Amino acid sequence: MILFNNFLILLTDLRPVIDPDSKVAFSLFGIPIAWYAVIILSGALIATIYGYYRFGKPLGLSSDTVFTGLVLGLLFGIIGARLYYVIFTASSGEIHYDSFMDVINPRNGGLAIHGGIIAAAIFLFVYCRKKHIKLIYLLEIAMPLILFAQVVGRWGNFINQEAFGGLVKVDALNTIGPLTNTTQLTDSILIAQREALSKLWVPDFVINRMYIQSSSATGFVCAGYYYPTFYFESIANFIGIIIYMVVRKYWKKVLVGDGISFYLIWYGIVRLFIELMRTDPLMLGKTGIRVAVLTSIIYIILGLVFIIVRRILKYKMISCKEALYDRNSSIMEEGFETPKEPFILKKIVDVFKKKDSNEDSSQKDEE
């Protein structure tokens, strides 16, 4: 059986050369549109459409509110992701930006997901205040969907052959001495690397694109097969979505807003382990600390603090099962009802209405 598998591998190209044009989906007015952008936008759009029709619309959110928020949220997210990347690559000396055009051009470097998440979160806070939507309710719906968008978006890294881990370790590597960027791995080593990836349940079409000929990543050693960390992250996050969606639907103790904690904890743990495998980390200046590792630890701590403190304070103790799946109207009335008056003014009006009602009752009692 092993010999047969090796024969099949030999029939494939052990050193596949990826056509640079395969990274371009199409051209728009002469401007090449990368698959990376198409995949990320598709993930965000699919998640938003599902979230709106499955939860938002039945609970009273207008399509204008949702899709305007999507467009603006993506814009702020992209800006945040780019600035985050630029700040840390510049501080570590990894990339030098000589002009403003260098800063805003994502082709000169890339984007950082944590920066996008932070910027999008700030935008959502302001947007919800403006639209008189309680942030905790919107985020309960949005967080699993944001995780789904990341699941899809990671496949943009697959197309670009980036965000990969270290060189696949096999015993045969120990027989050829120190590895350099000029080392030529033998066919038998490449076959062993492919088999090692197959044992990790990595499909062949992913393995074929994990032969990296050259890279500017600091952890690149030589031409060979590298671990597809983007694939591991995508699968792990997809599993997380399934777990949370099922638990949220059937367990009453999951509260509206716990999706925020779940996202921070789950993604924090996943990214923490994945980041330790990656060869292209953002570094915190010259400290040698990986920025994503530090951010992931902060995510985990914040998630745990929120889920514990809100239960101690009894804050918004509304069951997701009742609010989202049993169609309890309380979440719509408290979270998605958009008042005609400004939020503060509505509070004042309610006070006077209550006062007038009490006075009327007193007059009737006197009569």
One-character DSSP codes across 75-116: HHHHHHHHHHHHHHHHHHTSS---SHHHHH-TTSS---HHHH
Say yes or no to pLDDT of 349 above 90.
Answer: no
pLDDT higher than 70, residue 313: yes
User: CA 183, 185, 190: angle at the middle one, nearest 5?
Assistant: 150
Q: Any residues with CB less than 8 A from the CB of 50 and at least 6 apart, and which?
A: 145, 148
User: Is residue 223 within 8 Å of 190, Cβ to Cβ?
Assistant: no
**Direct distance between the N- and C-terminal alpha carbons of the chain, in angstroms, rounded to an integer:** 98
Cβ atoms of 116 and 236 within 8 Å: the answer is: no
DSSP 8-state secondary structure symbol assigned to residue 335? I
Q: What is the pLDDT of residue 365?
A: 55
Closest by Cα among 227, 229, 231 to 168: 227
> Between these two residues, 218 and 68, which has the higher pLDDT value?
68
Quick check: 293 and 275 in contact, CB under 8 A? Answer: yes
Beta bridge partners of 290: 283
Annotate 229-247 with b (16+ C-beta within 10 A) or e (fewer): bbbbbbbbbbebbeebeee
Is pLDDT above 90 for 265?
Answer: yes
Can you give the pLDDT at residue 2? 43
Q: Average the pLDDT over 64-93 and give the result.
A: 87
Residue 331: predicted pLDDT: 53
What pLDDT shows up at residue 269? 97
Q: Which of 127-136, 196-205, 230-239, 339-348 has the lowest mean pLDDT?
A: 339-348
The residue that leads in pLDDT, 116 or 345, is 116
Q: pLDDT class for 32, splitting at 50, 70, 90?
A: confident
pLDDT band at residue 169 under the 50/70/90 scheme: very high
Q: CB–CB of 172/189 below 8 Å?
A: yes
Which residue has 């979230």 as its token pair? 51
Asked if the model's pLDDT at residue 4 lies above 60, the reply is no
Look at residue 148 in the predicted model and tell me its pLDDT: 94
Would you put residue 93 in left (φ > 0), alpha (ψ -120 to 50) or beta?
Answer: left
Residue 334: pLDDT over 70: no
Mean pLDDT, to the nearest integer, of 254-263?
Answer: 93
Mean pLDDT to the nearest integer, 27-54: 84
Window from 183-187, 202-206, 320-324, 355-359 with minimum mean pLDDT = 355-359
